[in-house]
């Protein structure tokens, strides 16, 4: 193999699995170390720079970082990254003075943001400090979008939401709340320099089976139900509630129902338990509230007697997979099952919806009625219109919306200054030696054995009686510290210098996870087959050195490196060094205007 | 500084035949200097014992005094061990071996512990062909007392302080061959592909197996002009053969060009497979070992690999005809069989 080019910022970025997996590339180990050092305010700001909503995401993030966490490959469970983010948010001091402010002098550019959710707010956060005049439109009386309408208060208290939304609104954003935008044409006619669409995926899917119309009064669409509860239009539900669907919305609906008077609340899913889309922790939390799950049961009919819904009839299926892994649900032939219900909530998915965008404006729409967009710039076929969040490529999550917002803001900034939207600033990177003295490092190199700490929950007898009582209590400071210490510091990179190496094998002998091999060079397949430990995970790179004096090369499999620094401690010539790699996705305005 | 090795290991590492992981053969984290050759030898011992699937409690590690003799702490943490007096490791091992012949004895010593203070014990344990592995971690200096030349420092070798060694070196390999050692090998700490199979073969050999391992002292003897530095040894290494130990139950699968391979069968049924690099060398002929050793020396080369093996080796227990059961398990009735047995013996002299 060719020697690894560690000057390419993406090489070490990929080693920091959590940061690489995060759509917004939050420098996770960096803020976890700050939490361990009790620097909560600093930890919060590292987060805020990247993902804009640390307090919200610390409770509600989909956590793509956690399945990626290296710790999950060497023991049972990854670091509780999401919960640590909340520790930073819960314990921070004053932060507002650390945030950028909108300048008094504007740059003369006017931007419209349609929809007040995470994507639009991120664009506002990035562009307001650059002097843009920003107009935010939302149909509700407050900003936050789906974070307010679809996430129940027992998962995300309103105070946390208001705080983080207001940090942005207070940057001098012109808000047009209670204003449902019904025509893109009207917006375009107002002469904005650019328009950003962050309207999410606001249309909940319906289920058209027999009895649907007749029972309409007791059948609710998941996200609409959640919004009605959030805005207190709905405050009770029947005693027997069936939730159809196995995603996170279904989990929120069943748990909300338990709080509005639902006693026999059950979730019925047509697919097997293992393939349900909801996050495992949300399923676990629902089960903890005595909500049973019925799987492999597709709904067949809503049963209505005397104009009143009495229940639902379900079939029985089993999942079968063909050789391409495509699933089909085969009826088992068992008799159908009738389940009684006073109310049914349908939570089987949601879609984008753009009835308000006229189709003659030059904004092209493709398959599934989603806009045709450039994947990098988020620009539509009408150059001044940009999309982001769920509105762009379909339903994702908050952190993805924030990532979109940052990228769209760069595009808008370039576009408004007459620059090429593809001329995008490179990431800011930094590599700093961690050596303090002989075998002393700036970071805590010892690897602790602790298993993942559980987050304490509030007693059910309080939470089930008041939908505004938060269930998760968050880590206290001492548990937060202990969980933070589980982080392996994957951003502290093992940097190898070929010219200093005397090939004494000390690093090979000490490496706890047998990552390092000195051997003759070869192709990647060949090399992977003859390392000191199996190197089967091809998504993890091999770090290959230049040719050494014995004509061999150093090959390090990054897969399960503990970043413990023992290779560097045992190296007599400092050919191995531990260096902290910081990677920040550059935001609009940093270097991109000429 | 990290004093504790993390307990996590690569999750996909294999177990050996008896269900142990390599980690089960490791010891405490080393406190020797970073880059010390001795740590590599420790690593090679761990690897060899893992590959041979030896139960850790079947091994006794014995050492004297010195950097080398500290190493038993750093490997085979679950085995028996005795850190003895300077240069007296052979006596302790002899006693232990007499008491319990069922254990594998792994003696670890240094050039000071063997070639200076322990020389008297060393030569006699060879003479008796005690069944043990005797590893000398040879760095040509007294590393524990700041690097003075040892008895194995080569004539003309330059120390870190710049002084030139005026004395001839004791060649432990030549000496043990002369004294009739039944297994003699030399290797280099920086070459595990050679060292690990040599250790495995030495463990399998019934009798005294001597391994002289050049092991650079990074702190005091890795300078330019030293003949025991990493660079010098790498530049001057010559091997008799590449070596592979094939256990009894496994088939020999590696195919070498005809005429270049030799194999030696051991008592325990395993086979040492050698691909010869020195054409006129015969592993079972002591004279050819001497010749090759001397001619390499004359050329300024360091001859490594297996130098000599006597497949007919009879260890001390066989030579003195002890009973097959370990002496420490003999009960009073075995040791004092009574007047009838005595009469029988007396009768035999009549």
Domains annotated for chain B, with CATH where assigned, are: 22-320 (3.40.50.970)
Q: Is B34's CB within 8 Å of A449's CB?
A: no
pLDDT at residue B250 in the model: 65
Whether A114 and A185 map to the same domain: the answer is yes
Mean pLDDT of B5-14: 93
**Domain with A185 in it: what CATH number?**
3.50.50.60
d(CA B61, CA B79): 7
Q: Which of A395, A416, A437 is the last residue of a domain?
A: A416
If asked whether residues A144 and A278 sit together in one domain, one would say: no
What number is the average pLDDT over the span A420-443? 90
Q: Is A153 part of any domain? A: yes
- Average pLDDT (A563-586) is 94
A499 at interface of B, judged by CB pairs closer than 8 A: no
pLDDT tens digit sequence for A105-120: 999 999 999 999 999 9
Domain annotation covers residue A323 = yes
Q: What is the DSSP letter of A414?
A: H
Q: Cα separation of A397 and A199, whole Å?
A: 13
pLDDT tens profile A57-95: 999 999 999 999 999 999 999 999 999 999 999 999 999
pLDDT in tens, B27-60: 999 999 999 999 999 999 999 999 999 999 999 9
- Residue B1 predicted with pLDDT over 70: no
pLDDT band at A592 (very low <50, low <70, confident <90, very high): very low
* 184-243 of B, contacting A, C-beta below 8 A: 189-190, 192, 216, 218, 222, 230-231, 234
Question: CA-nearest residue of chain A to B219?
Answer: A572
pLDDT at residue number B97: 95
**Does an H or E element contain A529, and which?**
helix A524-529
Residue A385's beta-bridge partner residues?
A195
**What is the least distance, in Å, from the CA of B1 to any CA of chain A?**
5
Classified as helix, coil or strand, A177 is coil
Instruction: Compute the radius of gyration of chain A from its Cα atoms.
Output: 26
Nearest to residue A571, comparing CAs of A519, A514, A494, A513? Answer: A494
Report helix, strand or coil for A399: helix
Q: Are strands B104-110 and B132-138 parallel, antiparallel or unpaired?
A: parallel
Express each pLDDT in B91-109 by its tens digit: 999 999 999 999 999 999 9
Q: Indicate the pLDDT class of residue A327, thresholds 50, 70 and 90.
A: confident
Name which of B281, B299, B278 is nearest B290 in CA terms: B281
Would you say A133 and A161 are in contact if contact means Cβ atoms under 8 Å apart? Answer: no
* Nearest alpha carbon to residue B144 among B233, B29, B224, B31: B31
CA distances in angstroms from A220 to A216, A236, A237, A248, listed in the order given = 8, 13, 11, 16
Residue A253 has pLDDT above 50, yes or no: yes
**A294 backbone dihedrals φ, ψ, rounded to 5°:** -115, 120
Contact present, B158 and B180 (Cβ < 8 Å): no
What pLDDT band is residue A17 in, cutting at 50, 70 and 90? very high
In this structure, the answer to whether residues A172 and A235 fall within a common structural domain is no
A534–B contact, CB cutoff 8 A: yes
Q: Are A220 and A254 in contact (CB under 8 A)?
A: no
Inter-chain CB pairs, A–B, below 8 Å: 101
Measured CA to CA in angstroms, residue A246 lies from A66, A222, A288, A313, B212 at distances of 21, 11, 16, 18, 68
Q: Which residue of A has its CA nearest to B34?
A: A570
Chain B residues within 8 A of A566 when measuring between CB atoms: 2, 5-6
Q: Residue A542 domain-assigned?
A: no
Say if A286 falls within a structural domain.
yes
Q: Provide the pLDDT for residue A497.
A: 97
Clarify whether residues A175 and A162 are in a common domain. Answer: yes
Taking an 8 Å cut-off on Cβ atoms, the answer to whether A506 and B40 are in contact is yes
Do A180 and A230 lie in one domain? The reply is no
**Which of A472-484 are b and which e, b meaning 16 or more Cβ less than 10 Å from the residue's Cβ?**
bebbeeebbbebb
pTM, full prediction: 0.90
Q: CA B59, CA B105: separation in Å to the nearest integer?
A: 6
Tell me the pLDDT band of B253, cut-offs 50, 70 and 90: low
Of A536, A569, A573, the CB nearest to B1: A569
Same domain for A116 and A186, yes or no, is yes
Element (H, E) at A318: strand A317-321
Residues 6+ apart with CB under 8 A from A29: A16, A18, A19, A487, A488, A489, A490, A491, A492
Convert A436-481 into a string of H (helix), E (strand) and C (coil).
Answer: EECCEECCCCCCCCCCCCCCCECCHHHHCCCCCCCCECCCCHHHHH
Asked whether residue A133 is domain-assigned, the answer is yes
Looking at residue A589, what is its pLDDT?
80
Helix (H) or strand (E) holding A149: helix A146-149
So what's the pLDDT on residue A561? 97
Is the per-residue pLDDT at A209 higher than 80?
Answer: yes
* Strand, helix or coil for residue A346: strand
Which of B2, B36, B37 minimises the CB distance to A566? B2
Domain residue limits at A405: 101-202+352-416
Phi, psi of A554 (to 5 degrees): -90, 130
A375-411 pLDDT, tens per residue?
999 999 999 999 999 999 988 999 999 999 999 999 9
A371 touches chain B (CB under 8 A): no
Chain A nearest-CA distance from B25, in A, is: 13
Residues of chain B contacting A549 with CB distance shorter than 8 Å: 231, 234
* Residue range A542-560: mean pLDDT, rounded: 96
Mean pLDDT is lowest, of A258-267, A447-456, B257-266, B339-348, for B257-266
| pLDDT digit string, tens, across residues B148-186 | 999 999 999 999 999 999 999 999 999 999 999 999 999
Which of A349, A364, A394 is the last residue before a domain boundary? A349
Decide which of A370, A392, A416 is a domain's last residue. A416
* CA distance, residue A511 to nearest chain B CA (Å): 9
Taking an 8 Å cut-off on Cβ atoms, the answer to whether A536 and B190 are in contact is: no
Q: How far apart are CA B105 and CA B96, in angstroms?
A: 9
B77/B27 Cα distance (integer angstroms): 4
Contact criterion met (CB below 8 Å) for A174 and A134:
yes
**Strand A440-441 to strand B141-142: parallel, antiparallel, or no bridges (unpaired)?**
unpaired
Among B91, B100, B54, B80, smallest CA distance to B324 is for: B100
> Do A154 and A267 fall into the same domain?
no
Q: Are residues A154 and A250 in the same domain?
A: no
- Asked whether the beta carbons of A371 and A365 are under 8 A apart, the reply is yes
Supply φ then ψ for residue B201, to 5 degrees: -65, -40
With beta carbons under 8 A apart, name residues in chain B contacting A562. Answer: 6, 8
Kindly state whether residues A208 and A306 are assigned to the same domain.
yes
CB A115 within 8 A of CB A198: yes
Q: DSSP 3-state assignment of A196?
A: strand
Distance from the B109 Cα atom to the nearest Cα atom in chain A, whole angstroms: 20
- Report residue A593's pLDDT band, with 50, 70 and 90 as the boundaries: very low
Q: Is B36 on the interface with A (CB under 8 A)?
A: yes
Q: Are A483 and A532 in contact (CB under 8 A)?
A: no
Find residues 37-76 of chain B whose CB sits inside 8 Å of chain A. Answer: 37, 39-40, 42-43
The shortest C-alpha distance from A529 to chain B (Å) reads 13
The verdict on residue A569 lying in a domain is no
Residues of chain A with Cβ-Cβ distance to B1 below 8 Å are 438-440, 569
Cα separation of the two ends of chain A: 39
Q: What is the 3-state secondary structure (H, E, C) of chain B?
A: CCCCCCCCCCCCCCCCCCCCCHHHHECCCCCCCCCCHHHHHHHHHHHHHHHCCCCHHHEEEEECCCHHHHHHHHECCCCEEEECCCCCHHHHHHHHHHHCCCCEEEEEEEHHHHHCCCHHHHHHHHHCCCCEEEEEEECCEEHHHCCEECCCCCCCCECCCCCECCCCCCCHHHHHHHCCCCEEEEEECCCHHHHHHHHHHHHHCCCEEEEEEECCCCCCCCCCCCCCCHHHHHHHEEECEEEEEECCCCCCCCCCCCCCEEEEECCCCCEEEEEECCCCCCCCCHHHHHHHHHHHHHCCCEEEEEEEECCCCCCHHHHHCCCCCCHHHCCHHHHCCCHHHHHHHHHHHC
Looking at residue B241, its pLDDT comes to 81
Q: Is A361 found in the same domain as A243?
A: no
CB contact under 8 A, B9 and A512: yes
Is pLDDT above 60 for A499? yes
Q: Residue A319 falls within a domain, yes or no? A: yes
**Closest Cα in chain A to B30:** A510
* Secondary structure class of A409 (helix, strand, coil): helix
C-alpha distances out from residue B25 to B52, B89, B255, Å: 11, 22, 31
Domain count for chain A: 2
CA distance B210 to A309: 90
- Residues of chain B with Cβ-Cβ distance to A502 below 8 Å are 35, 218, 222, 230-231
Mean pLDDT over all residues of chain A? Answer: 94
Q: Is the ipTM of this complex over 0.90?
A: no
CB contact under 8 A, A572 and B7: no
Q: How many CB atoms lie within 10 A of CB A139?
A: 17
Touching check for A444 and chain B: CB below 8 Å?
A: no
Instruction: Tell whether B297 is within 8 A of chain A (Cβ).
Output: no
Do residue B11 and residue A560 have CB atoms under 8 angstroms apart?
A: yes
Asked if A358 and A267 sit in the same domain, the reply is: no
Closest CA in chain A for residue B192: A505
CB atoms within 10 A of CB B250: 10
pLDDT of residue B334: 87
The answer on A368 and A410 residing in a single domain is yes
Query: Average pLDDT in the A559-572 region?
Result: 94
Is residue A131 included in any domain, yes or no? yes
Chain B residue numbers touching A504 (CB-CB < 8 A): 35-37, 40, 189-190, 216, 218, 230
3 state SS of A67 = helix
The answer to whether B8 and B21 have CB atoms below 8 angstroms apart is no
Vertex A477: Cα angle to A474 and A482 (nearest 5): 95
Residue B254 confidence (pLDDT) above 90: no
A557 Cβ contact partners less than 8 Å away, ≥ 6 residues apart? A515, A517, A528, A531, A533, A535, A540, A542, A543
What pLDDT is attached to residue B251? Answer: 61
Mean of pLDDT values over A99-103: 93
Asked if A168 and A116 count as a contact pair (C-beta separation under 8 A), the reply is no
Strand partners, A431: A581
A594 pLDDT tier (thresholds 50, 70, 90)? very low
User: Pick from A516, A531, A532: which is nearest to A571 by CA?
Assistant: A516
Question: What is the phi/psi pair of residue B150, to 5°?
Answer: -100, 180
B257: pLDDT strictly greater than 70: no
CA distance, residue A571 to nearest chain B CA (Å): 6
Give the model's pLDDT for residue B249: 65
User: How many Å apart are CA A365 and CA A351, to the nearest integer?
Assistant: 14
Who's near B295: CB < 8 A, 6+ residues apart? none
The 10s digit of each residue's pLDDT in A164-199 is 999 999 999 999 999 999 999 999 999 999 999 999
Pairwise CB contact (< 8 Å): B234 & A560: no
């Amino acid at each position: 193999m060719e020697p690894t080019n560690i000057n390419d910022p993406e090489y070490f970025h990929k080693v920091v699995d959590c940061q690489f997996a995060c759509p917004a590339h939050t420098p996770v180990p960096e803020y976890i170390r700050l939490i361990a050092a009790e620097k909560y305010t600093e930890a919060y700001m590292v987060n805020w720079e990247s993902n804009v909503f640390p307090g919200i995401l610390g409770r509600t993030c989909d956590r793509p970082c956690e399945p990626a966490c290296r710790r999950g490959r060497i023991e049972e469970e990854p670091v509780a990254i999401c919960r640590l983010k909340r520790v930073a948010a819960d314990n921070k001091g004053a932060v507002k003075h650390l945030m950028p402010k909108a300048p008094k002098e504007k740059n003369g550019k006017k931007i419209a943001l349609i929809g007040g959710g995470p994507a639009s707010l991120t664009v506002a956060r990035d562009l307001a400090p650059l002097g843009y005049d920003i107009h935010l439109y939302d149909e509700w009386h407050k900003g936050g979008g789906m974070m307010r309408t679809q996430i129940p208060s027992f998962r995300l208290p309103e105070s946390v939401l208001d705080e983080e939304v207001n940090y942005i609104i207070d940057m001098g954003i012109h808000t047009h709340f209670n204003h449902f935008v019904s025509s893109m044409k009207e917006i375009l006619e107002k002469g904005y320099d650019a328009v950003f669409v962050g309207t999410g995926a606001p249309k909940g899917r319906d289920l058209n089976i027999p009895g649907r119309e007749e029972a309409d009064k007791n059948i609710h669409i998941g996200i609409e139900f959640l919004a009605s509860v959030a805005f207190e239009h709905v405050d009770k539900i029947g005693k027997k509630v069936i939730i159809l669907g196995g995603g996170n919305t279904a989990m929120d609906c069943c748990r909300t129902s338990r709080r509005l008077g639902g006693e026999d609340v059950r979730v019925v899913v047509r697919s097997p338990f293992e393939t349900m889309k909801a996050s495992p922790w949300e399923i676990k939390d629902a089960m903890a509230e005595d909500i049973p799950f019925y799987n492999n049961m597709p709904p067949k009919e809503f049963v209505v007697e005397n104009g009143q819904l009495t229940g639902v009839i379900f079939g029985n299926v089993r999942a079968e997979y063909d050789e391409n892994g495509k699933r089909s649900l085969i009826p088992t032939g068992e008799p159908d099952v009738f389940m009684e219900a006073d109310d049914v909530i349908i939570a089987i998915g949601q879609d984008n919806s753009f009835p308000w965008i006229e189709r003659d404006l030059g904004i092209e729409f493709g398959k599934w009625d989603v806009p045709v967009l450039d994947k990098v710039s988020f620009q539509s076929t009408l150059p001044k219109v940009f999309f982001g969040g769920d509105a762009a490529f379909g339903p994702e999550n908050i952190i993805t919306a924030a990532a979109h917002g940052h990228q769209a803001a760069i595009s808008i900034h370039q576009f408004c200054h007459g620059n090429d939207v593809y001329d995008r600033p490179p990431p800011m990177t930094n590599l700093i030696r961690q050596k303090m003295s002989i075998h002393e490092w700036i970071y805590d190199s010892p690897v602790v054995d602790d298993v993942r700490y559980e987050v304490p929950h509030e007693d059910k007898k309080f939470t089930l009686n008041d939908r505004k009582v938060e269930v998760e209590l968050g880590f206290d400071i001492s548990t937060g510290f202990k969980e933070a210490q589980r982080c392996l510091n994957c951003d502290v990179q093992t940097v190898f210098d070929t010219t200093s190496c005397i090939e004494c094998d000390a690093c090979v002998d000490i490496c706890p996870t047998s990552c390092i091999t000195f051997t003759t060079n070869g192709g990647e397949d060949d090399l992977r087959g003859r390392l000191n430990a199996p190197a089967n995970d091809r998504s993890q790179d091999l770090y290959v050195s230049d040719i050494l004096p014995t004509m061999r090369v150093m090959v390090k499999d990054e897969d399960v490196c503990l970043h413990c620094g023992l290779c560097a401690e045992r190296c007599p010539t400092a050919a191995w060094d531990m260096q902290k790699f910081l990677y920040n996705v550059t935001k609009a305005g940093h270097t991109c205007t000429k | 500084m990290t004093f504790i090795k993390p307990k996590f290991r690569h999750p996909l590492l294999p177990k050996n035949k008896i269900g142990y992981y390599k980690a089960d053969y490791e010891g405490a984290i080393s406190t020797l200097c970073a880059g010390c050759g001795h740590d590599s030898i420790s690593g090679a011992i761990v690897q060899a014992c893992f590959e041979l699937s030896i139960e850790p409690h079947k091994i006794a590690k014995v050492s004297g005094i010195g950097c080398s003799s500290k190493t038993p702490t750093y490997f085979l943490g679950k085995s028996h061990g005795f850190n003895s007096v300077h240069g007296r490791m052979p006596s302790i091992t002899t006693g232990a071996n007499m008491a319990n012949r069922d254990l594998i004895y792994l003696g670890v010593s240094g050039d000071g512990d063997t070639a200076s203070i322990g020389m008297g014990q060393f030569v006699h344990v060879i003479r008796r062909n005690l069944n043990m592995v005797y590893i000398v971690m040879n760095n040509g200096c007294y590393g524990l007392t700041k690097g003075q030349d040892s008895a194995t420092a080569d004539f003309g070798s330059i120390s870190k302080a710049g002084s030139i060694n005026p004395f001839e070196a004791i060649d432990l390999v030549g000496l043990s061959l002369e004294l009739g050692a039944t297994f003699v090998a030399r290797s280099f700490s920086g070459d595990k592909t050679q060292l690990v199979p040599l250790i495995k073969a030495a463990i399998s050999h019934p009798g005294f197996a001597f391994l002289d391992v050049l092991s650079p002292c990074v702190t005091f003897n890795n300078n330019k002009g030293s003949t025991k530095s990493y660079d010098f040894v790498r530049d001057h290494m010559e091997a008799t053969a590449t070596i592979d130990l094939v256990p009894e139950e496994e088939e020999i699968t590696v195919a070498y060009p005809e005429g270049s391979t030799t194999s030696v069968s051991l008592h325990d049924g395993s086979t040492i497979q050698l691909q010869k690099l020195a054409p006129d060398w015969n592993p079972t002929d002591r004279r050819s070992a001497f010749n090759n050793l001397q001619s390499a020396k004359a050329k300024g080369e360091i001859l490594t690999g297996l130098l000599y093996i006597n497949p007919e080796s009879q260890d001390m227990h066989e030579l003195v005809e002890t009973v097959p059961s370990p002496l420490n398990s003999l009960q009073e009735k075995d040791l004092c069989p009574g007047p009838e047995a005595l009469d029988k013996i007396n009768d035999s002299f009549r």
